[in-house]
Amino acid sequence: MKPVEVTDSNFQNEVLKSDLPVLVDFWATWCGPCKMIAPIVEEIAGEFSGKLKVGKVDVDSNQQIAMQFGIRSIPTLLVFKGGKVVDQLIGALPKKALIEKISKHLL
């Protein structure tokens, strides 16, 4: 399962109305640390398929969402559950740390 491309126009349906918890990766093409965690985010999307939805927001093309959630540094990963932000992770964290943070929201 690949991450879903989330945009200003599909954010509400893909993230806020999702039945599953959603991990949203805010990134940009020019961001080095974003490129470092991209493969990890893809692995998590595959490993947690059916339990977690994973989306990616390019902050350069979707500034409205980035502003709405106060994204000041990237990569920032937000975990949404029931349409609300329940966790925030900033920076290129190791996979183990990401999974630990995400797992507690999958119950």
Cβ within 8 Å of residue 4, ≥6 positions away: 14, 53, 54, 55, 56
80 is catalytic: no
6, 22, 31, 41: which one is catalytic? 31
- Reading the block at residue 47, the tokens are 């490993």
5 Rama class: left (phi>0) / alpha (psi -120 to 50) / beta:
beta
* Torsion angle defined by CA atoms of residues 72, 77, 78 and 81, in that order, rounded to the nearest 10 degrees: 170
Catalytic-labelled residue, pool 15, 23, 24, 34: 34
- Active site annotation includes 34: yes
- Residues catalogued as catalytic: 31, 34
